Structures are given as C-alpha cells and as structure tokens.
C-alpha cells in the first residue's frame, strides 16, 4: 500500500489507487481537481456499467481474469486483442481483481471494452469510435470513458456523443498531451467532461492541456503497477471515469464536476 507523501514517484511500488486519490484530493488546491469523498470508500462499482473505448484488451491478463468484461472490435482487425497494451493497462485501473494486491477502482462493475483504436486510417478511426459509442449506449453504459483524442473533429463522432448524452451517459474524454494550449476532440465537445493530468500534488503537467475548458484534473504522472507506469491525460481520464462511476453508485452527487 502506498502511504508516502509522493506515492507515485516510484513506479515499482504497488499502488493503492484509492490512497493515491485521497492524497491528491487533500494536497491539490486546484479548483477543478478530482475530488475523493469519504462515501466512496465503501463503493466498488457494483451494479454499474462502464464503457472503455480504447485499443482493445488482453484475454490472458491475470489481473482481469475474473472481472466482468464484455469486449467488441470496431476496427476490423479481427479481434479485441490489444496490440499496444494501452487498453489493457487502463482496464486494470478500473477492474483489476486483486492479483498481487492490486485492485481497480470499480472491480465489481461490468466493463464494456470497445476496440476503436488502430485502424490506421483517420476516417475509419472516426467511424470506429462512433460505432463504439453507439454500442456503449445500446449496452446501457452509465459511464463512457475515452482516453483518446485527435485535433480534427468529425460529425459522425459528434452525433454519437450527443446520442450518448441524450441517453443519460456520463462521457469523459482526454483533453490531450499536445501542450497546454491544445484541447483535443471529442473532449472539447459540450457536455463531455474534459480531463487533463496533474502530478500527485495537483500541479498540472506542463505538456498536457491546461485550457479553461478542462473540467477536471486527475492524477496522471507515473501511474501503474508491476513496474510499468504510464503518464498523461489518458490515464487521468480513466481514473476520473472510475471515480465518476463510484459517485454515481453512491448517490453522493450527480457528477464529479458538480460542486
């Protein structure tokens, strides 16, 4: 368990994600920081459905073997396998089942993994993402997490996001890692919670988006387990999505961006 003042400095340390978030909440003074409420300590995501739209998922990852996962490929790659490991790492943060003592934030939730990255063609990538969003709505996702983004917006994705919002889904997307003054799509769409990354003490990372439209800053520096860490607005978006799921389960507030 991590209990030091700077718990994510050593990526070899076995992270307790809840401890990281409590530390973040208590040490950050940024008004848009992700907040942890004591009522969340007793929540595990039971009864919630969370969609992760990413690069796929490994079917052999030991930390995910007993998790409730439904996966579908929208890239035409022939399967939900994860060629980059990005989606698998993010899935662990959400539903890891306690192997080696590491638990995801919402281990009792149903995780809907949509493989939407990896088409290699921009217009096909947009269509894959839109299909993934529509699938998440059809599968009655409570929260849709998109740890991804691009410079150019597309009509097909915008329409899918609007459909999700109308259906009552909470939608989060990565604000981006392309500098402080660049906000990516679809995070810049209205009603999407745009998430950027900060260090464990709440200082925004200088290479991540810091535009006024950023709704939430979450931990995003060297987050990981088994000596493998990741940084940036993608991992911050996943953690924020996990906390949002806990808030919805607890009924403490309507959304993590509510005061």
Q: What are 167-202's pLDDT values in tens digits?
A: 999 999 999 999 999 999 999 999 999 999 999 999
Predicted local confidence at residue 82, as pLDDT:
96
For residue 37, the enclosing domain spans 17-250
Predicted local confidence at residue 3, as pLDDT:
29
Number of domains in the chain: 1
Residue 118: pLDDT over 90: no
Does the annotation mark 54 as catalytic? yes
- H/E stretch holding 19 reads helix 17-27
Mean pLDDT value across the chain: 91
In a 3-state reduction of DSSP, which class is residue 70?
A: strand
Query: Pick the catalytic residue: 73, 86, 229, 231?
Result: 86
Does the annotation mark 86 as catalytic? yes
The answer to the question of residue 3 being in a domain is: no
8 A C-beta contact, residue 235 and residue 221? no
The answer to the question of residue 243 being in a domain is: yes
Q: What are 16-68's pLDDT values in tens digits?
A: 999 999 999 999 888 999 999 999 999 999 999 999 999 999 999 999 999 99
Query: Pick the catalytic residue: 28, 109, 231, 234?
Result: 234
The answer to the question of residue 6 being in a domain is: no
Query: Pick the catalytic residue: 23, 28, 54, 73?
Result: 54
Rounded to an integer, what distance in angstroms lies between the CA atom of residue 100 and that of residue 106? 17
Does the annotation mark 66 as catalytic? no
The answer to the question of residue 10 being in a domain is: no
The answer to the question of residue 8 being in a domain is: no
- H/E stretch holding 73 reads strand 68-73
The answer to the question of residue 12 being in a domain is: no
Model pTM score:
0.93
Peptide bond into 186 cis (omega under 30): yes
Rounded to an integer, what distance in angstroms lies between the CA atom of residue 256 and that of residue 87? 23
- CATH number of the domain within which 66 lies: 3.40.50.200
- Decide which of 8 and 80 is more confident: 80
Predicted local confidence at residue 29, as pLDDT:
87
The answer to the question of residue 257 being in a domain is: no
3-state secondary structure string, 207-256? CCCCCCCCCEEEECCCEEECCEEECCHHHHHHHHHHHHHHHHHHCCCCCC
């Amino acid at each position: 368990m991590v209990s030091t003042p700077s718990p994510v400095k050593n990526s070899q340390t076995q992270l307790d994600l809840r401890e990281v978030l409590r530390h973040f909440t208590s040490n950050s003074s940024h008004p848009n920081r992700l907040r942890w409420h004591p009522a969340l300590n007793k929540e595990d995501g039971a009864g919630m459905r969370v969609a992760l739209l990413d690069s796929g998922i490994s079917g052999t990852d030991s930390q995910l073997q007993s998790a409730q996962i439904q996966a579908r490929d929208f890239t035409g790659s022939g399967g939900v396998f994860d060629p980059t490991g990005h989606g698998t790492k993010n899935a662990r943060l959400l539903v890891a089942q306690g192997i080696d003592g590491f638990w995801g934030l919402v281990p009792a939730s149903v995780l809907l993994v949509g493989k939407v990255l990896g088409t290699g063609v921009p217009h096909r990538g947009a269509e894959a993402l839109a299909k993934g969003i529509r699938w998440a709505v059809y599968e009655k996702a409570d929260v849709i997490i998109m740890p991804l983004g691009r410079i150019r917006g597309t009509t097909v994705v915008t329409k899918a996001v609007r459909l999700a919002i109308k259906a009552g889904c909470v939608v989060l997307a990565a604000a981006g890692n392309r500098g402080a003054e660049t906000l990516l799509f679809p995070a810049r769409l209205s009603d999407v919670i745009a998430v950027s990354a900060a260090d464990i003490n709440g200082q925004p990372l200088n290479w991540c988006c810091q535009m006024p439209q950023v709704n939430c800053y979450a931990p995003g520096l060297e987050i990981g387990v088994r000596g493998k860490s990741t940084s940036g607005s993608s991992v911050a978006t996943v953690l924020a999505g996990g906390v949002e799921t806990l808030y919805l389960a607890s009924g403490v507030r309507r959304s993590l961006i509510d005061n």
